[in-house]
């Protein structure tokens, strides 16, 4: 089976018969059968006897019954290849400890006691248990298992998986044990918990688990006691959570959010990505410093590697990783991004001489529209006249009447200074000056009208001339830079693909769109149309969103319709943005990217061959166009993926793509 770096983990809360370890052992074994495809299963705190046993914890009958249940569960793991964590009270040298027991292949392989005992408000643990510290015996004799490693200095390694263990209150402390475990290499933290339900506590619990997984650059699985343990003054909810790198992967139902249905047995299961965790740790130099400074020494228990690995099938993979799926979250994200863009532009404008014109090329397309809206809103927020914005629309040989009309209408309704300059004659003069025959058409003796007729008569498959396109882009940049401080419009996706003319539309004085991918630009404009701008601007924006993506540089049809569509040439931007995210943010190999794409939820179905072909295009263009990214203008970083050569992405312009293509070709 292909190893994609995923490990399936389950956090489970089973029904508990308080003070009946035999019945609870049966319940754990039954639960393990339900989660037989998980490599790691963690149950709640004191799950073999129940957290709410009170003074019964001191009874020898309870302690011995718990050990017998532990042995039965350990025996059950002999045929599952699972690593299982259960909780029980354990007497060691005259003291009682609240312990997590790790079981594998029929054996108890580790015993980790709880370090921080809550003894306030509804909690009373210090009445029964001893808080664990470093002054503990290194091993405990267990009947049937011999000497078992015991202590707060234990980690469990299983192949690429390195596990740290803490119990409930440990997580709520200023320096949780898991922080030290993570700096010692643990990439999965397991928490056996009995956290009762109070108003608002579930949200705080979720924040703790998620944020700790982010701080530790690790996965975190949290299993809490369920309602079958509720007694006297406390109610337990069975809240189970799994997070990774600051992102919640799975959450169970619990008491209080279960639609009034009984909650007896809950679980959260997720495929954690060890390769991504490793990538993030390699990338985060401050993390490496923290590891160097950590002076805690841990013993590592080595277990055989798992016989099988998860394929990531339980992991939700969005086809649009830059675009939140929840509408409310998406609107909030769009509002935040637009605010960042405006604040960044205001700072740069504030450093310019007063009344310096802000020059922007307005094509009627997505990117220039967003940049124009940012400029307008920035001027409005700082009481600068919007007439300071000089919007130029510069129709060329591929410009359609529809996009030209939208650009002109948008500038008019936004009250910016606008100007239309037909660049066709300037470009024709340039062709003559550099002795270029566009598409093989001799220019001697041709006027503009005749030249246009010759262009329209060209067969569709003959309309390829890079010089013809680049001259138009560079003439437009010349006109823009002759009129003030130029605002760039190119987006993150275009930078990744090098889909810009060097020193043409690739150059400006400041680019407000530099770290926004194409898939998000469209949603941003839709959001702004709905929430930030009124009619008739709104109608113009809706037309922009509905139009196909095109640079409109190649000749249009005889009827004036656009023939050049970007995605027909390079493939869907939705795929390119997916590839970009997983390559840069997750450090995924091409092979893994294709695997993730096979399970991703895109806006439409893509055949496997189309995905493979588009990934090949992406890789080749990404590597071959670093020289353009090495000299892009300043612009605000708004997300976790950025290709700025000054901030996030430093790549040699002459790097070879061969190894990545070999990986792509190997699947």
**What is the C-alpha to C-alpha distance for residues 509 and 488, in angstroms, rounded to an integer?**
7
**Range list of H helices, 484-607:** 492-497, 518-531, 537-546, 566-570, 573-584, 590-598
Which residues is 150 bridged to in the sheet?
Answer: 111
Among residues 109, 107, 114, which one has the least CA distance to residue 46? 114
Estimate to the nearest angstrom the gap between the alpha carbon of 525 and the chain centroid.
Answer: 22
Reply yes or no: is the peptide bond before residue 536 cis, omega within 30 of 0.
Answer: yes
**Range list of H helices, 43-185:** 60-76, 177-183
| Residues 6+ positions from 580 with CB-CB distance below 8 Å | 492, 493, 496, 517, 618, 622, 641
Which residues is 243 bridged to in the sheet?
Answer: 220, 248
For the chain, the maximum distance between any two Cα atoms, rounded to a whole number of angstroms, is 107
**DSSP helix/strand/coil, 363:** coil
**What is the C-alpha to C-alpha distance for residues 129 and 117, in angstroms, rounded to an integer?**
8
Which residues is 270 bridged to in the sheet?
Answer: 9
Among residues 337, 218, 226, which one has the least CA distance to residue 636? 337
The question of whether 45 is a catalytic residue gets the answer: yes
**DSSP helix/strand/coil, 169:** helix
Label the pairing between strands 219-224 and 240-244: antiparallel
How crowded is residue 528: how many other Cβ atoms within 10 Å of its Cβ?
21
Which residues is 146 bridged to in the sheet?
Answer: 142
Half-sphere exposure of 539 (CA within 13 A, CB side): 6
The question of whether 494 is a catalytic residue gets the answer: no
Please report where in the chains the tokens 């390119």 appear, as a residue: 576
In the sheet with 95-104, reading across from the earlier edge strand, the strands are 107-113, 95-104, 83-92, 40-42, 6-13, 266-273
The single residue of 49, 53, 168, 379 carrying the catalytic annotation is 168
How crowded is residue 526: how many other Cβ atoms within 10 Å of its Cβ?
18
Q: Compute the C-alpha angle 58/60/64, nearest 5°.
A: 125
Label the pairing between strands 83-92 and 95-104: antiparallel
DSSP string, 286-298: HHHHHHHH-----
**What is the C-alpha to C-alpha distance for residues 216 and 180, in angstroms, rounded to an integer?**
9
The single residue of 45, 125, 229, 469 carrying the catalytic annotation is 45
**Range list of H helices, 216-284:** 274-283
The single residue of 49, 53, 107, 114 carrying the catalytic annotation is 114
Strands (E), 180-239: 188-193, 219-224
**What is the C-alpha to C-alpha distance for residues 158 and 75, in angstroms, rounded to an integer?**
19
Give yes or no for a contact between 244 and 11, defined as CB atoms under 8 angstroms apart.
no
DSSP assignment letter at 601? B
The question of whether 168 is a catalytic residue gets the answer: yes
Token pair recorded at residue 294: 């950590």
Please report where in the chains the tokens 């989660």 appear, as a residue: 35
| Residues 6+ positions from 211 with CB-CB distance below 8 Å | 246
Residue 539 backbone phi and psi in degrees, to 5: -65, -35
Residues serving a catalytic function are 45, 114, 168
């Amino acid at each position: 089976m292909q190893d994609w770096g995923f490990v399936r983990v389950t956090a489970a809360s089973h029904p508990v018969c308080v003070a009946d370890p035999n019945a609870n052992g049966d319940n754990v074994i039954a639960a393990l059968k339900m989660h037989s495809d998980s490599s790691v299963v963690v149950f709640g705190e004191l799950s073999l006897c129940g957290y709410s046993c009170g003074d019964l914890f001191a009874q020898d009958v309870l302690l011995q019954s718990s050990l017998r249940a532990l042995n039965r569960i350990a025996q059950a793991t002999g045929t599952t290849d699972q690593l299982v964590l259960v909780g029980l009270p354990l007497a060691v040298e005259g003291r009682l400890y609240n312990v997590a027991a790790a079981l594998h292949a029929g054996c108890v392989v580790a015993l980790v006691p709880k370090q921080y005992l809550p003894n306030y408000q509804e909690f009373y643990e210090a009445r029964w248990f001893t808080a664990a510290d470093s002054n503990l015996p290194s091993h405990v004799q267990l009947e049937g298992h011999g000497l078992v490693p015991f202590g707060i200095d234990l980690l469990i390694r299983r192949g690429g998986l390195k596990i740290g263990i803490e119990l409930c209150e440990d997580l709520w402390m200023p320096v949780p044990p898991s922080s030290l475990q993570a700096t010692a290499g643990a990439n999965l933290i397991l928490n056996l918990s009995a956290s009762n339900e109070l108003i608002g506590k579930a949200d705080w619990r979720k924040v703790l688990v998620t944020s700790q997984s982010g701080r530790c650059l690790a996965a975190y699985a949290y299993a809490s006691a369920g309602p079958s343990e509720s007694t006297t003054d406390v109610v337990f909810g069975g809240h189970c959570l799994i997070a990774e790198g600051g992102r919640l992967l799975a959450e169970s139902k619990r008491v209080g959010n279960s639609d009034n249905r009984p909650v007896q047995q809950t679980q959260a299961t997720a495929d954690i990505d060890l390769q991504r965790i490793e990538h993030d740790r390699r990338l985060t130099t401050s993390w490496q410093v923290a590891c160097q400074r950590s002076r805690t020494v841990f013993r590592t228990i080595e277990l055989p590697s798992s016989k099988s690995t998860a394929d990531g099938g339980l992991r939700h993979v969005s086809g649009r990783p830059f675009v939140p799926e929840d509408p409310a979250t998406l609107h909030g994200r769009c509002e935040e991004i637009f605010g960042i863009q405006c604040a960044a532009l205001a700072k740069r404008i504030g450093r310019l001489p007063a009344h310096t014109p802000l020059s922007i090329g307005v094509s009627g397309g997505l990117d220039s529209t967003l940049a124009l809206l940012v400029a307008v809103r920035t001027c409005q927020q700082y009481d600068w006249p919007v007439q300071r914005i000089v919007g130029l629309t510069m129709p060329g040989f591929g410009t359609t009447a529809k996009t030209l009309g939208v650009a002109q209408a948008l500038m008019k309704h936004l009250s910016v200074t606008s100007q239309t300059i037909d660049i066709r004659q300037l470009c024709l003069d340039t062709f003559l000056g550099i002795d270029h025959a566009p598409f093989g058409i001799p220019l001697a003796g041709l006027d503009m009208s005749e030249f246009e007729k010759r262009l329209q008569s060209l067969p569709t498959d003959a309309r390829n001339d890079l010089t013809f396109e680049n001259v138009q882009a560079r003439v437009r940049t010349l006109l823009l830079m002759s009129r003030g401080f130029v605002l760039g419009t190119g987006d993150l996706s275009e930078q990744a693909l090098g889909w810009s003319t060097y020193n043409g539309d690739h150059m400006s004085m400041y680019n407000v769109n530099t770290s926004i991918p194409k898939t998000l630009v469209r949603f941003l404009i839709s959001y702004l149309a709905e929430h930030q701008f009124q009619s008739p601007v709104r109608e113009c924006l809706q037309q922009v969103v509905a139009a196909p993506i095109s640079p409109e540089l190649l000749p249009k049809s005889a009827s004036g319709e656009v023939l050049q569509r970007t995605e027909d040439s390079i493939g869907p931007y939705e795929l390119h943005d997916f590839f970009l995210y997983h390559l840069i943010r997750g450090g995924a190999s091409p092979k893994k990217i294709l695997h993730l794409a096979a399970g991703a939820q895109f806006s439409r179905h893509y055949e496997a061959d189309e995905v493979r072909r588009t990934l090949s295009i992406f890789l080749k263009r990404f590597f071959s166009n670093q020289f353009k990214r090495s000299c892009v203008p300043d612009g605000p970083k708004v997300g976790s993926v950025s290709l700025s050569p000054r901030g996030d992405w430093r790549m040699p312009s002459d790097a070879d793509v061969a190894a990545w293509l070999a990986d792509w070709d190997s699947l």
